[in-house]
Amino acid sequence: MQSAPMYPAPSYAPQKSGMGKGAIVGGVLLTAIAAGAFYFLGGPKVGTLVVTVAGPAGKAVSGVSIKIDDELKCSASPCIVEGLAAGKSHIVVAGAPGYAEAAGKAIKVESGEETPVSIELSAASAGTGIKVVSKTPGLRLSVDGKDYGPLPQELTDLKPGSHNVEVSGNPLFAPFSKRVEVPADEMVTIEPTLQFLKGEITIELGDNAKGAKIWLKGDGEDKALHRLKLPATITIPADKQMTLVAERQGFDNYERNITLSADEPSKTFTVELSKPGAADKSSSTPTPGPRTPTPTAATAPTTATAPTTAPAAAGASKLNINSIPMSNIILDGKPLGSTPKMGVAVSPGAHTVVFVHATHGRKVQQVNVAPGQSATAVMRFP
């Protein structure tokens, strides 16, 4: 039996496609074209804001701060901010010292364009209300029936409109009342003119006054003050002219006219009596009364035996006197009126200052003044 002939199995060599490499290159090119098309046709778009800030009537403003979307961008005007996303709104806020911060503006940015923004700042408001001041002590403020306490007062949170303002509390003056119009964002200053009703004098005993007969005379009416427990405070009607008189056997009479006013409604008088001719023995002897002219070099003794307490030349040494609250002053036995008293010419050395308050009584303070220098005496009553 004859065998069938044997044939080798066919072999297939790998083949390269003529389009394979070109297809890869083409794919990369298409991707680049697509990316470019996305960038130019649908990619991110930006724009610019140009922000200008001014005050009322276009006034230039310094110290400007400009924020966009809560981020500080500029500290001067105009402010150019680039690269902002287009097609959306951005919040622009501007402010400056002394001006109220403007409310934020929502500004839409257009692609590739400069969008102008103008902001006008308004002056910062000190508030809406009143400021009430007065030199008269003991006054209180009431607005629309509500008590706000002692003067001075500054109310900055009142509603715009009409308000009833009342000032009272000092029994020597009539209460003050006024209807006041308060515009929005404005402060109205009020200095009340008070009607002076009556004054007060405080009488106290000084040198040699114990046992003297003391009278308050005026308009045919005499009042025996020596029958009172002194010191004492006496009320005097504002329209009366009065004279304080003291008499004691063996001493010169004391007599002082009393003049009170709205500016000086209270005075203290220290009754001091001297032997006849005693005033001629030494120019340093204090003259009784509510006010005494400051001694000068012309009145100071020039002999070698002159007292060491003789006043120095005017301006050589000075004393500043004040108290809280206001009180009457007696300097080395001489009444000077009410505090404050600044630049009182005194002789160098030790001095005694007596502070007299109608309610809180008397307080004494010793103070030394160096030659050609100034010193201060201050007293606080409880």
Span of 29-38, 59-68, 145-154, 325-334 with lowest mean pLDDT: 29-38
Residue 213 CA neighbour count, 13 Å, CB half: 8
Return the pLDDT at 43: 53
pLDDT digits (tens, 9 = 90+) for 336-356: 888 888 889 989 988 889 888
Confidence grade of residue 55 (pLDDT, cut at 50, 70, 90): confident
Average pLDDT over residues 145-149: 94
Share of the chain above pLDDT 90, in %: 35
160 close to 130: Cβ distance less than 8 angstroms: no
Per-residue pLDDT at 285 exceeds 70: no
pLDDT tens for residues 160-177?
999 999 999 999 999 999
- Residue 79 in tokens: 């402010």
pLDDT at 140: 95
β 349-357/361-369 pair status: antiparallel
Collect all residues with Cβ–Cβ distance below 8 Å to 156 and sequence separation of at least 6. 126, 127, 128, 129, 187
Instruction: Give me the domains of the chain, ranges plus CATH numbers.
Output: 46-120 (2.60.40.1120), 129-190 (2.60.40.1120), 199-292 (2.60.40), 311-382 (2.60.40.1120)
pLDDT confidence of residue 62 = 87
* Cα dihedral across residues 329, 334, 335, 336: positive or negative: negative
Q: What is the pLDDT of residue 202?
A: 92
Return d(Cα 342, Cα 378) in angstroms, integer.
Answer: 11
Q: Taking residues 245-269, report their average pLDDT.
A: 89
> Where does the pLDDT of residue 264 fall: very low under 50, low under 70, confident under 90, or very high at 90 and above?
confident
Whole-number pLDDT of residue 107: 92
Task: Count Cβ atoms within 10 A of the Cβ of residue 316 and give its class: 0-12 exposed, 13-18 middle, 19 or more buried.
Answer: middle
**Does the pLDDT at position 25 exceed 90?**
no
Of 48-57, 98-107, 185-194, 276-285, the range with the lowest mean pLDDT is 276-285
Per-residue pLDDT band for 42 (boundaries 50, 70, 90) equals low
pLDDT of residue 155: 93
The answer, yes or no, to whether residue 295 has pLDDT greater than 70, is no
24 versus 76: which is more confidently predicted? 76
Residue 23 has pLDDT above 80, yes or no: no
The model's confidence at residue 261, banded by pLDDT at 50, 70 and 90, is: confident
Residue type, 165: V
Has residue 243 got a pLDDT over 70? yes
Residue 200: name the closest of 230, 242, 233, 240 by CA: 233
Q: Which range, 152-156, 218-222, 378-382, has the best average confidence (pLDDT)? A: 152-156
pLDDT of 99 reads 84
- pLDDT category at 278 given cuts 50, 70, 90 is low
What pLDDT score does 9 carry?
44
More reliable by pLDDT, 292 or 123: 123
Residue 267 to residues 20, 27, 85, 262, 355, Cα–Cα distance (Å) = 120, 109, 78, 12, 12
Q: Mean pLDDT over all residues of the chain?
A: 79
For residue range 67-96, what is the model confidence (pLDDT) as tens digits?
999 999 999 988 999 999 998 889 999 988
Please choose, from the candidates 277, 288, 283, 337, the residue with its C-alpha nearest in 3D space to the C-alpha of residue 310: 283
Q: H or E stretch including 33?
A: helix 20-37
Res 291 pLDDT > 60 = no
End-to-end CA distance of the chain: 151
- Of residues 58 and 41, the one with the higher pLDDT is 58
Contact (Cβ atoms closer than 8 angstroms) between residue 74 and residue 84 = no
